[in-house]
Chains A and B, each alone.
Chain A
């Protein structure tokens, strides 16, 4: 009797211990988690994944600040020498590989590329109508991210077939700049082949956007003939210059007739995360450019007094150029002109120029939630005016220059700026080249391209104080990446 009981007990223990092993198995479904194994089963999944590929464009707001701070257009400003230290380093040309903005640019662009590659990897998983056009969008985006990387860092790791996994860590090396440009061209040409001319959803990539970006890329490569031809497609499109220059940069001017491609920002889904402040839907660049402790009833909101236009830039505008007031806000003059606003503000505590980036100043009512992080102002990435100027340059510098076409495009831009024909440029040849380059500065100042234009056109060393030729054409590879992945550093860093 007693033995039977013991045997039963023993068997019970054995039974429990063997069946119990499953008890510690785990399935993510327990936590209602969607995993990679379950996804990309429907067209909707693909569309959502494509949306995700757009997001990192919002995170690289600092690239657009760097484009001007690194040039003669603006200074870093801020509260003190260590506020926004990444911008200070770049402004002072004491650039080190430890720079949070450069690291963020690197990580964000590669995140975008990996997101695109994940779709590339899973392209064959499901077929549906409109898939090709959908993939056109992501090929554009991959080209966009690689273009950001290549013009900032030069040679960079290049991969296109799959999303990298943990096993790929520390395995890649830098690919030559030329290979990266080749891939960018391939992606853009593939995109152009499948993208529709327009998309009812504003901010989506269109064929024109891809053509404009390809034109820009070709210009960077010095392929002026191809650039001119490519940009001509865009000029033939439905775009036009907005009559009043200032209107472009208002909320009402977003995605307007001059907009070829805009990075969309929004305050509809407010973001609160200070641990990654630039990774929301809002444009942190706007907050960075704002006037410190501004009060009063002006339309502007407060900010961090960074990216302050230089007097040199202000002086570059001729009298009568309507772009000056749109590009630069002279706060003292503005205050004097508008006593009714009762403006008070804190003079920029560091590197004050008294001037602010009017194009991207914070404006009241354009943010929500955590106010600093949610400004809705889109980044005007490729404007029609830019396309005209790029085309002008391409025609002027092409193997068979067409200066009259170049003049026409250039003067279209100038006529809008001055409201007359009296300021038209009649120069030709290299004088025209200089005029176009000068015009690019005036038209596109504080829009994030100046530094790259100066490097591209070989003017950086003569124009930028502190710029060291043979070194500063590119920024240093982030130190973390050098340490972890063993990438070679750019010369001089």
Chain B
């Protein structure tokens, strides 16, 4: 059969060439892109005939055409070009990429769609933008570029940011699902994909596009498409590399030694104590510990890729390395080093059967320091005693670094802490997919896909015996370096394996009725399994108290009381789903789509094993109407959608019997120690179960508009959405007389979010030498918790004793700051007496607002004092190129996000912050509630959570500035190198903000975002790099 067809074609071809031969010229030439790179596979046709050819691997073609005929050169993604044949026999053509992107195809769940036919809401970030940024994680490239997505980054190398697509649907489990080439992964997995492998990132935002992912779609979907090869192409190699240095962007104003001593003396006197530093004059400026902990570590990336193919197969292979040291403590204490290898292969096994194998291997080595907590290195550096020198100068005492005799608990020398911080982790991950596509008919395709991720993580940490001072409560060594009685060092090791797979089988059937009615149907089912299991152990008494020997093998601890301990965890969740979608359009002008999914999960309660999710959308391409005539608007589409998706952050249900001596976190203790006997194991009912437990449900309405003006010069896309989440999981407040067994979660709460996503892009070539592109994205989401359990949820713990700062509560925005409102300072006793009763207040103390008006300041007067989430975020990109130079900059703004300064410890002897210099010192000195009097005793509790510590964290960050130079081919004079670009880049060049701390961008999910407990600030990075194609 196949042979017959070939023969017929051959005959036809031969006969045609014979026909035209008489009067035609043989024209040949080379087709290149605007950079002079050859383009293979460009179609070259003689207009008005069926005569034509394609360019070969070197971009060369030759075709027979009569004089006066028109040659049409066309290539996907490029503007077609027409050239009239005159006398010349050599016609070289350069094609320009088309800026009017109306022919683009966008990846959606279980298929692709022509961009003009999409009636849902999708944001796209393209490869060029991603690659240019040189991001560590793919989310860095989404921030500010994809409208509708809020990314709150963290400075810790490789750490996961908070990503919110269209508002805050819940208080936990808000991560969007990540789909890499069709295989379902999680946001955590985005640390593994090098930028050089990514072809595009599409973010599915509305129900119309996410309902096909059902119970996983509720938080939005990030679709990552990696690169694949090209048929019949010459192998394209490319190398990209960067090398640079990082530094902290700013430091926080703390007191120097003399100022500190002065304040401490004042505080001690005010509380009836003695002068602590009798002679301040000898102290000088002392030590600013911030300068000691921040380093300037190196960061580098390298990637080498090759892509190409024959007529039966294509390939994309890549190898990449990324190394990032952390600025806190330098590259030896915190780092993120990633090595990748990817092989993406497509085979045409038969003309109808295609086999795709994508395989990636990743190795990640990492280490970290304590961060964003009361015992973080930064918190210690900010609060530690400035009067002591850096190094230990007390003869015959243990330790390299100094100790403080003033601070004897909780806070210690950050350098000692860094020196005593030892940990490492090693991740090996293999992920990818195996896929068969079978084209039963021309328009009916069956796809079987097996996507998998196998992750092995091993790691260890070592807690050595430490010396923070003879009287320091946390010292486990005596001053002479001998261990304190009963103190042991310990090493902890773990090994965890995660294995996830999704097997999906679906068919796509595209058909037309009467030419104008186009249908795209898809139907399928999937099974998925996510598993994790881990074993961990710790052992005391590591020889020589040294990281070199920190391993369970070498440790010698045998004592029954935790000389050795073992632990493990495991989980497995299984999903079974059926899904389908029908897209319809009439002449590409009237669009409609309906999709649905039925999801079953082993995590759901026995009475609710399956949930149904569905969505529909409509679109109207107004610009295709006959009545629509505009020279300005060349494309206009109006679209709307409504649908239901879910969120399956549920737990497996059972009534557990605990036989553990302790259950950490739950406060369940079922052991008892009778006399001198060993602890007796006890048992107790530790939890209840809820058989009715089900998914959280998101109902989302979307209305949007896409406009293109001036043939692609301006592109605008805008969406309005309303999202209502119900059945939010809560641990309901049950009667306390039920005891302390773990209460099962129940579907209790509701949340409402609404907002707009806008995107405006401008692309303009003023001449061949000067090109400009610019874009603005705008994302706004307003969130309101409309129903919770009686008390809602509290979180955001900080401090000792611990305070809850954030709440998730009915009638408020999610994760808002909760505390007292200040109303100035008490200037004198009369004012105290005439104000609502505030126990123990003295002049100079903070006056708190009597919110409930009962005349007494107490817990009931706490109220909303801030919102950690931005009112809106914006991204602005500007890029232009002039001749061989290119310039690019990207700015990101977050407006209205509040930050709570929780890093200020405010204990008697801890270091203070510069605000204290403006403190109240007598009647009339100040009424600023941020600066009350200073005393060791704080009967008024001036340090309680209040707006004293809340700041507007609005910021504008220059995230990226880049200047590049591309060597002209003439200068390169190389047959090997086809393109060479050198560039210099500054990431996080500058932050405009009023926030006093390091970085107002503080990631922490819903209940911990915006609380600065000494968060790891993002580094300013100076990079040099090169891109090379050959």
A26 touches B683 (CB 8 A): no
Q: In the complex, which of the residues B473, B672, B675, B685 has the most CB atoms of chain A within 10 Å of its own CB atom?
A: B672
In whole Å, how far is A157's beta carbon from the nearest beta carbon of chain B?
5
Given contacts A82-B941, A365-B485, contact A103 B736 (CB under 8 A): yes
Complex interface: stretch among B191-199, B285-293, B660-668: B660-668
Contacts of B603 in A (CB 8 A): 26
Q: Would you call B665 and A107 a contact (CB within 8 A)?
A: no
Contacts of B622 in A (CB 8 A): none
257-289 of chain A: CB within 8 A of chain B: 264-276, 279-281
A302 interface residue, CB < 8 Å from B? yes
**Interface-centre pick from A39, A106, A364 (highest chain B CB count, 10 A):** A39
Residue pair B735, A481 in contact (C-beta under 8 Å): yes
A107 touches B736 (CB 8 A): yes
Q: Look across to chain A and name the residue whose beta carbon is closest to the beta carbon of B598.
A: A17
0/1 string, A475-487, CB within 8 A of B gives 1: 0001011011100
Contact B271 A349 (CB under 8 A): yes
Which residues of B lie under 8 Å from residue A94 when comparing CB positions?
A: 839
Interface: B562 (CB within 8 A): yes
Is there an interface contact between A21 and B576, defined as CB atoms closer than 8 Å? Answer: yes
Given contacts A21-B576, A107-B739, is CB(A49)–CB(B684) below 8 Å? Answer: yes
Question: Which of A109-117, A208-216, A306-314, A443-451 is the contact stretch?
Answer: A109-117
Task: Assess whether B486 is interfacial by the CB under 8 Å rule.
Answer: yes
Interface residues of A in 335-354 (CB under 8 A from B): 344, 346-347, 349-350
Q: How many B residues touch A, CB cutoff 8 Å?
A: 90
- The CA-CA distance from A270 to B633 in the complex, in Å, is 73
Residue A416 interfacial (CB < 8 Å): no
Q: Which of B58-66, B144-152, B181-189, B567-575 contacts A (4 or more CB under 8 A)?
A: B567-575
**A11 at interface, CB cutoff 8 A:** no
When the two chains form their complex, are residues B600 and A36 in contact, meaning their CB atoms are under 8 A apart? no
For chain A residues 68-109, which have a beta carbon within 8 Å of chain B?
Answer: 80-83, 94, 96, 98, 103, 106-108
From 452 to 493 in chain A, residues with beta carbon under 8 angstroms from any chain B beta carbon are: 478, 480-481, 483-485
Cross-chain contact of B657 among A38, A172, A274, A275 (Cβ < 8 A): A38
Q: Is B743 an interface residue (CB 8 A)?
A: yes
Task: Tell me the chain B residues, 267-315 only, with Cβ under 8 Å from chain A.
Answer: 271, 273
B183 to chain A, nearest CB (A): 19
Give the chain B neighbours of A113 by CB distance below 8 A.
739
Q: Which residue, A17, A26, A107, A295, has most C-beta atoms of chain B within 10 A?
A: A26
**Interface 0/1 of B660-702, CB less than 8 Å to A:** 0110111111111111111111111100101000000000000
Residues of A355-386 whose CB lies within 8 A of B: 364-365, 367-369, 371
Interface pair B679/A114, CB less than 8 Å apart: no
Q: CA A59 – CA B606 in complex, angstroms?
A: 35
B493 vs chain A, min Cβ distance (A): 18
CB under 8 Å from chain A, chain B span 913-969: 936-941, 944
Say which residue of B602, B674, B735 sits within 8 Å of A24 (CB atoms).
B602
Chain B hits for A367, CB < 8 A = 486
Least CB distance from B436 to A in Å reads: 13
Please determine whether A51 and B735 come into contact, CB atoms closer than 8 angstroms.
no
Q: Which of A1-36 contact B (CB under 8 A)?
A: 13, 16-17, 20-21, 23-26, 28, 30-36
Q: List B contacts of A59 (CB < 8 A).
A: 667, 669
Which chain B residues lie closer than 8 Å to A168 at the CB level?
735, 738
Q: Which of B271, B683, B859, B939 contacts A51 (CB 8 A)?
A: B683
Shortest distance between the CB of B553 and any CB in chain A (Å): 23
Indicate if B81 sits at the interface (CB-CB under 8 A): no
Q: Which residue of B lies closest to A31 (CB)?
A: B570
A35-B655, A201-B677, A202-B676 given as contacts; is B471 within 8 A of A114 (CB)?
no
Residues of A within 8 A of B657 (CB): 34-36, 38-39
Cα A39 to Cα B659 with chains together (Å): 11
List the B side residues contacting A33 at CB < 8 Å.
Answer: 654, 656
**Please, which residue of chain B has its CB at the minimum distance from the CB of A78?**
B801
Closest to B907 in A: A79
> Does A315 have its Cβ within 8 Å of any Cβ on chain B?
no
Contacting pair A118 B680 (CB below 8 A):
no
A270 and B602 within 8 A (CB): no
Tell me whether B630 is interfacial, beta carbon within 8 Å. no
Is residue A45 contacting chain B, with contact meaning CB distance below 8 A? yes
Say yes or no: A268 contacts B735, CB within 8 Å.
no
Instruction: Decide: A272 near B664, CB < 8 A? Known: A35-B656, A264-B672.
Output: yes
Q: Name the distance in Å between B475's Cβ and chain A's nearest Cβ.
A: 11
Q: Which of A159-167, A184-192, A239-247, A316-324 lines the interface with chain B?
A: A159-167
Task: Give the chain A neighbours of B683 by CB distance below 8 A.
Answer: 39, 45, 48-49, 51-52
**Complex: how many Å from CA A28 to CA B665?**
21
Complex interface: chain A residues within 8 A of B470 (CB): 295
- Asked if B740 is at the interface (CB within 8 A of a chain A CB), the reply is yes
**Do residues B561 and A269 form an inter-chain contact, with CB atoms below 8 A?**
yes
By a CB distance below 8 angstroms, the chain B residues around A302 are 473
B contact residues around A327 at 8 Å (CB): none
- Contact of A26 with B739 in the complex, beta carbons under 8 Å: no
In the complex, which residue of chain B has the Cβ closest to the Cβ of A106?
B736
Write out the residue numbers on chain A whose beta carbons fall within 8 Å of the beta carbon of B735: 164, 168-172, 481, 484-485
Interface of A is mostly: loop
- Which residue, A33, A159, A255, has most C-beta atoms of chain B within 10 A? A33
- Whether A202 and B674, one on each chain, are in contact in the complex, defined by CB atoms closer than 8 angstroms, is yes
CB distance from A154 to the nearest CB of B (A): 15
Instruction: Chain A residues near B662: list those with CB within 8 A.
Output: 269, 271, 273, 279-280
Instruction: Assess the B654–A82 pair: CB atoms within 8 A.
Output: no
Which chain B residues lie closer than 8 Å to A21 at the CB level?
576, 600, 609
The 0/1 profile, CB within 8 Å of A marked 1, for residues 732-744 of chain B is 0111111111011
Say whether B575 contacts A51, CB under 8 Å. no
Check B937 against A80 for contact (C-beta < 8 Å): yes
Partner of A169, one of B666, B676, B738: B738
CB contact under 8 A between A166 and B471, given known A110-B739, A368-B486: no
CA distance A260 to B662 in the complex (A): 28
Nearest B-chain residue to A479, judged by Cβ: B859
Instruction: Assess A83 versus B801: contact at CB under 8 Å? Given A24-B576, A31-B652.
Output: yes
Whether B667 lies near A51 (C-beta < 8 A) is: no
> Roughly how many angstroms separate A484 CA and B939 CA in the complex, as a whole number?
32
Q: Report if B19 contacts A (CB, 8 A).
A: no
Whether B669 pairs with A281 at a CB distance below 8 angstroms is: yes
- Asked whether any CB of chain A lies closer than 8 Å to the CB of B976, the reply is no
| B contact residues around A83 at 8 Å (CB) | 801
Distance in angstroms between the alpha carbons of A272 and B492 in the assembled complex: 15
- Rounded to whole Å, the gap between the CB of B1017 and the closest CB of chain A is 27
Chain A nearest CB, measured from B605 CB (Å): 9
Specify which of A94, A118, A367 lies most central, judged by the most chain B CB atoms within 10 Å of its CB: A118
Q: Which residue of B lies closest to A267 (CB)?
A: B561
Interface pair B574/A23, CB less than 8 Å apart? yes
Interface membership of B877, Cβ < 8 A: no
Q: How far is the CA of A428 from the CA of B654 in the complex (A)?
A: 63
Q: How far is the CA of A169 from the CA of B606 in the complex (A)?
A: 22
Across the interface, name the chain A residue whose C-beta is closest to B599: A24
Pairwise interchain contact B670-A55, C-beta atoms closer than 8 A: yes
Q: Does B15 contact A (CB under 8 A)?
A: no
- The answer to whether the Cβ of A204 comes within 8 Å of any Cβ in the partner chain is yes
Could you tell me if A273 and B674 are in contact, using CB atoms closer than 8 angstroms? no
Q: Which of A23, A269, A350 contacts B937 (CB 8 A)?
A: A350
In the complex, 7 of the A-B residue pairs with CB atoms within 8 angstroms, ordered by the A residue number, are A24-B576, A24-B601, A48-B680, A51-B671, A268-B673, A281-B669, A483-B733
Known: A24-B600, A58-B669, A264-B672. 11 other contacts (CB 8 A): A31-B571, A45-B683, A58-B672, A164-B739, A166-B690, A166-B743, A202-B677, A266-B679, A268-B560, A276-B665, A484-B736
| 7 closest A-B pairs by CB | A202-B675, A276-B667, A51-B682, A266-B673, A111-B739, A52-B682, A48-B683
Q: Give the interface of B toward A (CB within 8 A).
A: 271, 273, 408-409, 470-471, 473, 485-486, 505, 525, 527, 560-562, 570-572, 574-576, 578, 600-604, 606, 609-610, 652-657, 659, 661-662, 664-685, 688, 690, 733-741, 743-744, 790-791, 801-802, 839-840, 858-859, 908, 936-941, 944
